[in-house]
């Protein structure tokens, strides 16, 4: 008997004292949902038994150029592995673009141990989605769901081949939605705490109903393994890429041509805004749709076609839902007043991202700026070394750096000791030691 019921009985007894006529005792109110009631766990076994056979293992082979000191480039064999899932009975498979990138041979292995050489119909590095075809019929398939219905706290299940362990099942919850990762501003990632490791890439993320809501694509880690953060490409984003590849042979993306940053409360007040809602324009790409529309650095984009922009990462995800050539109406805050601009979207070119590149193991996010390689964000090893946002990287171990791509290549090379970075900070230049990796 709960406390509320005991109180009700005590009050009724006091009321009835000295009376011969019994009155009914008022019933205790029902318990509040979510306080004293519990929800049943999803039937993970049913999900795995019903849809696990549609999850495939992918292995790749090819060659890559190796650059050794004082020697000409040489070809070395490369091998990789990942996961995927069947979306049509006639052999259509979805996976990550990075799983098949650079491969000359792609093999798909089913749960019944059959193996097929796959044809890559198309791969989109911007969203990290690839579409494969294998010569097979009557295959088991997954069922696609709606990522918009996901909420933080919802159960999810990942199936894949981490470290080559085939058909491994892990479960967790949705940690957040609409995450924008450095270098991946076009994708509103689903963040989960389901364990995902190398080899899981390209595998499906299921909701509690057994529907695929995402493609497991990335982890943020200082060790190279799972550390509690995994990210999946929403399946509606992947389905759009699949349709484009099947219809046109390639994926296309609209581009506005701005680099935006989060609008903090202090920044909002400095611009005369009551709420830190919107995307703050940090840079406008010359000759882009944004430049032609009249956007400037310091503008705050509040709405796009009456769709509110609450956080900065809302903007690139919304732009990518549009098509190149589409006209948009932008509501902008400039010099403490609202103005309206019109932009005709351009087309993003693969291989020339305008958003920062991310070096996960070092925690360093950079982009090409007018004065050099600009640090957009620093965490992990980079932050501990003293690197700050706004620093300009001038040299690595005494070798000048002129582009983010060059820095990526230099930091990606094997290091046997600390890395000496020469950075410019304001009017000063200083060396910082970054631990090897």
DSSP 305-370: TTEE--STTHHHHHHHHS-TT-EEEEEEEETTEEEEEEEE-EEPPTT--SSPEEETTTTEEEEEET
Domain boundaries, the chain: 1-38, 43-251, 254-347, 357-434
Beta-strand ranges (E) seen in 67-114 are 74-88, 92-95, 105-109
Residue 186's pLDDT band (boundaries 50, 70, 90)? confident
Q: Is 244 helix (H, G, I), strand (E, B) or coil?
A: helix
The superfamily (CATH) of domain 254-347 is PDZ domain (2.30.42.10)
Share of the chain above pLDDT 70, in %: 82
Give the per-residue pLDDT at 385: 79
Higher pLDDT, 185 or 230: 230
Give the per-residue pLDDT at 20: 44
Closest C-alpha to 309, from 270, 346, 342, 281:
281
Higher pLDDT, 166 or 3: 166
Closest C-alpha to 302, from 326, 280, 319, 272:
280
* Separation CA 80–CA 101 (nearest Å): 10
* Separation CA 391–CA 358 (nearest Å): 15
* Separation CA 63–CA 77 (nearest Å): 4
Give the per-residue pLDDT at 110: 97
pLDDT at residue 127 tops 50: yes
pLDDT at residue 28 tops 60: no
Alpha carbon 52 to chain centroid, angstroms: 24
Give the per-residue pLDDT at 108: 98
Give the per-residue pLDDT at 1: 39
State the average pLDDT over residues 304-322: 89
Residue 328's pLDDT band (boundaries 50, 70, 90)? very high
Least confident of 16-30, 162-176, 355-369: 16-30
Residue 181's pLDDT band (boundaries 50, 70, 90)? confident
pLDDT at residue 169 tops 60: yes
For residues 83 and 203, is the Cβ–Cβ distance under 8 A?
yes
**43-251: CATH topology:** Thrombin, subunit H (2.40.10)
* Separation CA 230–CA 210 (nearest Å): 19
Give the per-residue pLDDT at 367: 80
What the block records as the tokens of 279 is: 């995307």
Interval 389-435: pLDDT, tens: 888 888 887 788 878 777 877 776 545 556 777 888 877 778 787 76
Give the global pTM.
Answer: 0.70
Interval 215-250: pLDDT, tens: 999 988 777 778 889 999 999 999 999 999 999 999
pLDDT at residue 353 tops 70: no
Q: Is 254 helix (H, G, I), strand (E, B) or coil?
A: strand
Give the per-residue pLDDT at 437: 44
Which residue numbers are catalytic?
A: 98, 128, 201
What the block records as the tokens of 181 is: 């990762």
CATH 2.30.42.10 fits 357-434, yes or no: yes
Higher pLDDT, 327 or 66: 327
Interval 40-87: pLDDT, tens: 788 999 999 999 999 999 999 988 766 656 667 787 788 899 999 999
Give the per-residue pLDDT at 3: 37
196: left (phi over 0), alpha (psi -120 to 50) or beta: beta
Give the per-residue pLDDT at 185: 62
Burial class (CB in 10 A: 0-12, 13-18, 19+), 186: buried
pLDDT at residue 343 tops 60: yes
State the average pLDDT over residues 238-264: 91
Q: Is 49 helix (H, G, I), strand (E, B) or coil?
A: helix
Give yes or no on whether 43-251 and 254-347 have one common fold: no
Residue 25's pLDDT band (boundaries 50, 70, 90)? very low
What the block records as the tokens of 187 is: 């994708």
Write the DSSP symbol of residue 162: G
Q: Is 390 helix (H, G, I), strand (E, B) or coil?
A: coil
Give the per-residue pLDDT at 221: 76
Q: What is the dihedral of CA 162, 158, 249, 99, to 10 degrees?
A: -10
* Separation CA 238–CA 76 (nearest Å): 32
Interval 5-22: pLDDT, tens: 333 333 344 343 444 444
**What is the longest distance spanned by two Cα atoms in the chain?**
107
* Edge-to-edge strands, sheet with 129-133: 115-117, 105-109, 55-66, 74-88, 92-95, 129-133, 119-124
Give the per-residue pLDDT at 276: 92
Residue 351's pLDDT band (boundaries 50, 70, 90)? very low
Give the per-residue pLDDT at 194: 96
Which residues in 70-91 are b (16+ Cβ under 10 Å) and which e? eeeeeeeeeebbbbbbbbeeeb
Higher pLDDT, 16 or 360: 360
Average pLDDT, the chain: 83
Least confident of 139-153, 204-218, 269-283: 269-283
Interval 76-116: pLDDT, tens: 788 899 999 999 999 999 999 999 988 999 999 999 999 99
Give the per-residue pLDDT at 236: 95
């Amino acid at each position: 008997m709960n406390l509320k019921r005991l109180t009700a009985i005590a009050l009724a007894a006091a009321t009835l004292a000295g009376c011969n006529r019994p009155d009914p005792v008022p019933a205790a109110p029902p318990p509040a949902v979510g306080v004293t009631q519990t929800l049943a766990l999803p039937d993970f076994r049913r999900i795995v038994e019903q849809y696990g056979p549609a999850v495939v293992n992918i292995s790749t082979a090819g060659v890559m150029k190796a650059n050794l000191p004082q020697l000409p480039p040489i070809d070395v064999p490369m091998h990789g592995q990942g996961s995927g899932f069947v979306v049509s009975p006639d052999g259509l498979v979805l996976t990550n673009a990075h799983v098949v990138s650079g491969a000359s041979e792609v093999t798909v292995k089913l749960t019944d141990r059959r193996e097929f050489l796959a044809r890559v119909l198309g791969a989109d590095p911007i969203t990290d989605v690839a579409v494969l075809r294998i010569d097979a019929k009557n295959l088991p398939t997954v069922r696609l769901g709606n990522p918009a219905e996901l909420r933080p706290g919802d159960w999810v299940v990942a199936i894949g081949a981490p470290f080559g362990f085939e058909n491994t099942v892990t479960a967790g919850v949705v940690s957040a939605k609409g995450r924008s990762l450095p270098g991946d501003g076009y994708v509103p990632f689903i963040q989960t705490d389901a364990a995902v490791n190398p080899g899981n890439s390209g595998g499906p993320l299921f909701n509690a109903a057994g529907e695929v809501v995402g493609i497991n694509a990335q982890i943020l880690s200082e060790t190279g393994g799972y550390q509690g953060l995994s990210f999946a490409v929403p399946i509606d984003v992947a389905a759009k890429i699949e349709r484009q590849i099947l219809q046109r042979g390639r994926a296309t993306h609209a581009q506005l041509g701005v680099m935006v940053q989060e609008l903090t409360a202090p920044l909002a007040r400095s611009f005369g805004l009551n709420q830190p809602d919107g995307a703050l324009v940090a840079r406008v790409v010359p000759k882009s749709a944004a430049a032609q529309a009249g956007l400037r650095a310091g503008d705050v984009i509040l709405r796009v076609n009456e769709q509110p922009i609450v956080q900065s990462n809302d903007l690139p995800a919304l732009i990518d839902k549009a098509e190149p050539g589409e006209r948009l109406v932008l509501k902008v805050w400039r010099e403490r007043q609202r103005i309206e601009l019109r932009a005709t979207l351009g087309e993003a070119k693969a291989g020339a991202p305008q958003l920062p590149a991310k070096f996960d193991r070092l925690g360093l996010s950079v982009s090409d700026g007018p004065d050099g390689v600009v640090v957009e964000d620093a965490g992990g090893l980079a932050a501990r070394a003293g690197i700050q946002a706004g620093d300009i990287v001038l040299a690595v171990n005494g070798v000048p750096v002129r582009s983010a791509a060059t820095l990526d290549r230099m930091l990606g090379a094997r290091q046997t000791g600390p890395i000496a970075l020469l950075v410019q900070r304001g009017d000063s230049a200083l060396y910082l030691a970054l631990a090897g990796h």
